[in-house]
Amino acid sequence: MFKKLSLRSRIFIAMILLVVIASVLIAGITVYQYREQSRDYHDDRLERKEEQIKQSIGYTLKKTTYPPTTENLEYIFKDEIYEIADVQNVNFNIYDLEGQLIKSSRPKFESDSLSNCLSAEILNNLAINASKRYVEENSAAGDKYQASYTYITDGKFKPIGILNLPYFEDNSFNDMELREFLMRLGGVYFLMLLLAIALAYFISKYITRSLETIAEMMGKTDLTKRNPKIDIEDPSEEIEKLVTSYNAMIDELEQSAAKLARSEREQAWREMAKQVAHEIKNPLTPMRLSVQSFERKFDPLDPNIKNKVAEYSKTLIQQIDTMSSIASAFSNFAEMPAQQNETLNVIHIVKLALDIFNEDYIHFMADETEIIATLDRTQLIRVVTNLVKNAIQAVPEVASPRILVSVSTEDDYVKISVADNGIGISDGFKEKIFEPKFTTKSSGMGLGLGMVKNIVETYKGTISFTSQPGKGTVFTVKFPKLTHLKTA
């Protein structure tokens, strides 16, 4: 989609996207930085609170009269735990080394059965942690909180208990600051976006103005008249090169316009002559083959000899009439012979077209005995004979040549296929195969497939092919059973 836009639109969109992307990136980095700062702040604050409580606990263990053991922690901190919590303004809990709750600064906490025992995961992480400290992160009611776990040691640094410090993160202040900053930043970038839109509009217009002038002049170029040259004041180096090239092209066009006109007239006459020659030559081949076939198969004692002679005569007369209509069309500068549509059995006509060929490797196949369609008998024969002749020319070097002509129905269409196991068509020739004058043979004018394509398309039919070099080619023609001719 972006490739279809004009250069001016691309420049405009690129500048706007640059500002938008920059604003999004800066906003994203800002949010990320605020989140990281908030996280670092809470981590540091949790560590400080934990250290302060550990110092208070250590001081209490020094002045108590109880031996500093796990069993005595409940008595040592019976009242002291509340005083430490009030001084430090934070609640905490004390567990034994097995994870059982000993004392909490919150009286209601002890009745919470879910918190009376630490999980095995916490105890294992605390035991294997080199710093003898484990921090658990959770969320409750949509708020994040951390819970730190560390050992309480006696005077000989022997663990006698576990200190648990729950810490709820309050990000309301940071979130408020972040929202205010993003609002200010958004206002600034909105003004920058408006400025960028205006700047992009004028810059893209300035850059493409010269190109639009050149494009307009090139669009007005006409080979039939004298074309004015482009004159732009103070062009850039690139535009100046483009203008110079265009003006040089105009000079060359003026010099070759007359030659081109003469060449086009001569070429038109050549094409007309080649087309007429091909159309006249096309009936001659089946006539010659029909005579040869008649001569080879003639048997005066054959009881059906009269019917066969009549059939051969009818074929020759049809081809002669075709040549006559071609000559009349050429003399009147008209189109090729008009179609004489009739209701006919396509299978019978295709068999009739194949009778003129003597090659024994040509085979015919049909799924039905009769397929009725409205077509021109002569043009149908010309389509089949041209495709078969091309197939014959494709298999001269094949050890076991084979050509299969098949007729079938497909919905409301008659389908005729001509398949061979010949040399195939290379990829470089596939796009040109139906072009007039194109041929891969050393002789001939290459008008046969082009003529076939014209006949098929006149009936609003289709012609296609598949080919593999060295394996063969299949041409497929589809005619509608009920003819609706194209109008000029």
Pairing of the two strands 472-480 and 462-468: antiparallel
Domain that holds residue 418: 339-488
Residue 7 belongs to a domain with what CATH number? 3.30.450.20
Average pLDDT, integer, range 335-349: 80
What letter represents residue 393's amino acid?
Q
**Can you read off the two tokens belonging to residue 284?**
């001659």
Nearest C-alpha neighbor of 48 from the set 148, 139, 155? 148
The total of structural domains in the chain comes to: 2
Query: Torsion angle, CA of 107/108/110/113, rounded to 10 degrees?
Result: 180
Q: Coil, strand or helix: which one is 469?
A: coil
Q: How many CB atoms lie within 10 A of CB 282?
A: 20
Last residue of a domain, one of 140, 156, 175: 175
Q: Which helix (H) or strand (E) holds 357?
A: none
Q: Say if CB 427 and CB 466 are below 8 A apart.
A: no
Long-range contacts of range 197-204, CB-CB < 8 Å, 24 or more positions apart? 197/16, 199/15, 200/11, 200/12, 200/15, 200/16, 201/12, 203/11, 203/15, 204/7, 204/8, 204/9, 204/11, 204/12, 204/15
Q: Evaluate whether residue 216 is within a structural domain.
A: no
Q: Which helix (H) or strand (E) holds 44?
A: helix 7-63
Distance between CA atoms of residues 46 and 29, nearest Å: 26
Banded model confidence at residue 478, pLDDT cuts 50, 70, 90: very high
Residue 464 belongs to a domain with what CATH number? 3.30.565.10
pLDDT tens per residue across span 181-237: 888 888 888 888 888 888 887 777 777 777 777 777 777 776 666 667 777 766 667
Last residue of a domain, one of 143, 159, 175: 175
Q: How many CB atoms lie within 10 A of CB 375?
A: 25
Residue-level length of the chain: 488
Average pLDDT, integer, range 137-152: 77
Distance between CA atoms of residues 357 and 58, nearest Å: 115
Query: CA-based diameter of the chain, in Å?
Result: 145
Q: Evaluate whether residue 113 is within a structural domain.
A: yes
Q: Evaluate whether residue 268 is within a structural domain.
A: no
Give the residue, 426 or 270, on which the prediction is more confident.
426
Q: Which residues contact 183 (CB under 8 A, 6 or more apart)?
A: none
Average pLDDT over the chain, rounded to an integer: 79
Q: Evaluate whether residue 15 is within a structural domain.
A: yes
Q: How many CB atoms lie within 10 A of CB 117?
A: 14
Q: Evaluate whether residue 93 is within a structural domain.
A: yes
**Can you read off the two tokens belonging to residue 303?**
């009881």
Q: How would you label 1-20 residue by residue, b for 16+ Cβ within 10 Å and e otherwise?
A: eeeeeeebeebbeebbeebe
Banded model confidence at residue 103, pLDDT cuts 50, 70, 90: confident
**Can you read off the two tokens belonging to residue 162?**
């576990």
Per the DSSP assignment, residues forming a β-bridge with 473 are: 420, 467
pLDDT of 79 strictly over 90: no
Q: Evaluate whether residue 319 is within a structural domain.
A: no
Backbone angles phi, psi at 9, to 5 degrees: -65, -40
User: What is the residue-wise DSSP string for 429-457?
Assistant: TGGGTTSTT--SSSSS-S-HHHHHHHHHH
Last residue of a domain, one of 175, 200, 233: 175
pLDDT of 438 strictly over 60: no
Q: Evaluate whether residue 223 is within a structural domain.
A: no
Banded model confidence at residue 62, pLDDT cuts 50, 70, 90: confident
Backbone angles phi, psi at 476, to 5 degrees: -125, 125
What burial class does residue 153 get, using C-beta atoms within 10 Å of its C-beta: 0-12 exposed, 13-18 middle, 19+ buried?
A: middle
Banded model confidence at residue 344, pLDDT cuts 50, 70, 90: very high
pLDDT tens per residue across span 310-334: 887 887 787 787 777 666 655 544 4
Q: Say if CB 358 and CB 259 are below 8 A apart.
A: no
User: What is the residue-wise DSSP string for 207-240?
Assistant: HHHHHHHHHHHHHT--TTSPPPPP--SS--HHHH
Q: Any alpha helices (H) in 220-304, and if so which ranges? A: 237-297
Banded model confidence at residue 168, pLDDT cuts 50, 70, 90: confident
Q: Evaluate whether residue 418 is within a structural domain.
A: yes
Q: Tell me which DSSP letter residue 335 carries.
A: P
Q: Coil, strand or helix: which one is 140?
A: strand
Q: Coil, strand or helix: which one is 167?
A: strand
Q: Say if CB 84 and CB 104 are below 8 A apart.
A: no
Give the residue, 248 or 463, on which the prediction is more confident.
463
Side-chain-facing half-sphere of 308: CA atoms under 13 Å: 17
Distance of CA 284 to the CA centre of its chain: 51
Percent composition of the chain: helix, strand, coil (DSSP 3-state, to 5): 55, 15, 30
pLDDT tens per residue across span 261-305: 566 656 656 766 676 677 677 777 777 777 777 777 777 777 887
Banded model confidence at residue 140, pLDDT cuts 50, 70, 90: low
Banded model confidence at residue 337, pLDDT cuts 50, 70, 90: low
Q: Mean pLDDT lowest for which of 32-36, 337-341, 445-449?
A: 445-449
